[in-house]
Each structure stands twice: as structure tokens, then as C-alpha cells.
Amino acid sequence: MTTLLHVKSSIFGEEGKSAQLAAAFIAQWKVANPDGEVVERDLVNEPVPHLDGARVMALMAAAEERTVEQQMIVDQSDELIAELVNADQIIMGVPMYNFAVPSQMKAYFDLLARAGVTFRYTENGPVGLIDDKPVYLFATRGGLYKESGIDFQIPFVKQFLNFIGLEQVEVIYAEGLSMGDTAEQSFAKAADQITAIN
Ligand SMILES: Cc1cc2nc3c(=O)[nH]c(=O)nc-3n(C[C@H](O)[C@H](O)[C@H](O)COP(=O)(O)O)c2cc1C
């Protein structure tokens, strides 16, 4: 069965602009994949915990030496990674809040970064261990940052995904959403780009 993983991170739920773009993508995807399954990872309503010392120790502990509590932490990380592995395509709503990804998304990435599981270091540098597949990012922001030299958000997201093996990343930008008429045009352009994808 074809599977689409939808990672949600707008604090505005379905009202979020990134969520609206994702909904447009999913509606179209369902037509193209009538037997497909959409798996939702809602990082706002079901946030994953932030990284702390105990979690890092759990993720780094040898499997045979984990305590019961450490195994529960690893199980959660494994579940998130399995969703990536099992998906044929991935979509992520990526709102900009204070120049960055939502903190919920950063916490998610922190549980995905697992040496020996999602990446490993070789003599030639790091190698991602997740099989590559298409990833679509819906980047929504109030201002204009794309290719401005001050976008620290999408380059970070791309770098992270590339690092774990996901290199086919396409970004659909809806920028200037706090900028009057620009907002409507920008959102419509992003919606058109989505129509052209499937
Ligand atoms: C708390 C907060 C912080 C924001 N920070 C920024 C920012 O740093 N730069 C920007 O261009 N827009 C900023 N915005 C505007 C959002 O990027 C914009 O509302 C966008 O639609 C958010 O995506 P969403 O609708 O999918 O949640 C911010 C909005 C909120 C609520």
C-alpha cells in the first residue's frame, strides 16, 4: 500500500496556512492514490518530549544494557523513525515562528537523529541511513526570506533531512503572509505549485 506521512507543526491546527497547503496536497494525493494511507504525525497535539540528558543517554545506551525507562524512550524514537522508513512520500508543514521551525519540530528532529540508525559517520563523513524518497515542505512565513541570506529555517530543515538520507526535498513557499495583498498572491502561487506536483 502506498503511504504518505504527514508531519504537522502549525500551532493553529487546521487553520494554519501550512496545514491548509498540506490539506490541498492530501486531497489531490488521495485521488491519485485511492488505496493509499495517510499517516499523521501531529507534533502540536501530541508533542514529542524535548531532548534532555536522560533521553540522550537512553538513545546512546547499548540495546542489551537499557533500563525499562530507557527502552520506552528508544521505543518512541523507533516509532517516529519507522514512520519515515515506511512512508513512500512525506509532507511537512513548516511554519516560521521567530525565525525558526516550531520548537515541536525541533524536538521531533532531536528524536530522529540516531547514530547507527538514521545516520552513521564514515571516513568520508556522515552518511544518511533512511532510504531516499520525495519530501515536500510547506514553508509558511509572514515575511520574505527565501534566498535572502537570512533564512535560517528551511536551510536547517533541508540539512537535517539530507543528513539522515532524505535528499529529494522540494520546498513550496508561501511567504509574505503578513504583507497585505502579497499574502493572497503568495498563497495562491503555493497552491498552484501543489496542483502541479501530483
Ligand atoms: C509566534 C509567531 C512567531 C512568528 N515569527 C515569524 C517570523 O520570525 N518571521 C516571519 O516571517 N513570520 C513569523 N510569523 C508569522 C508566521 O510565519 C505566519 O503566520 C505563518 O502563516 C505561520 O504558519 P502556519 O499558519 O502554518 O502556522 C510568526 C507567527 C507567530 C504566531
Whether the per-residue pLDDT at 30 is higher than 80: the answer is yes
**Any residues with CB less than 8 A from the CB of 144 and at least 6 apart, and which?**
175, 176, 179
Pocket test for ligand 1, best of 6, 12, 141, 182 (most atoms within 8 A of CB): 141
pLDDT (0 to 100) of residue 198: 62
Beta-strand relationship, 89-95 and 135-140: parallel
Find the mean pLDDT for residues 101-109: 98
Q: Which domain holds residue 163?
A: 3-197
How many domains does the structure of the chain reveal?
A: 1
Whether the per-residue pLDDT at 169 is higher than 80: the answer is yes
Beta-strand relationship, 135-140 and 3-8: unpaired
> Is residue 152 within 8 Å of residue 164, measured between CB atoms?
no
Give the type of residue at 96.
Answer: M
What pLDDT digit, counting tens, does each position of 130-160 carry?
Answer: 999 999 999 999 999 998 999 999 999 999 9
Q: How much of the chain, in percent, has pLDDT values that exceed 90?
A: 98
Find the mean pLDDT for residues 48-68: 97
Find the mean pLDDT for residues 125-130: 97
The Cα–Cα gap between 92 and 188 comes to: 18
Q: Domain of 87: which CATH number?
A: 3.40.50.360
- Protein residues with CB under 6 Å of any ligand 1 atom: 10-12, 16-19, 93, 95-99, 140-143, 177-178
Question: Could you tell me the pTM of the whole model?
Answer: 0.97
From start to end of the chain, where are the E strands?
3-8, 37-42, 89-95, 119-122, 125-128, 135-140, 169-174
Alpha carbon of 38 to ligand 1 centroid (Å): 26
Find the mean pLDDT for residues 92-118: 98
Give the type of residue at 145.
Answer: Y
Neighbours of 47 (CB within 10 A): 15
pLDDT (0 to 100) of residue 122: 96
The Cα–Cα gap between 135 and 166 comes to: 7
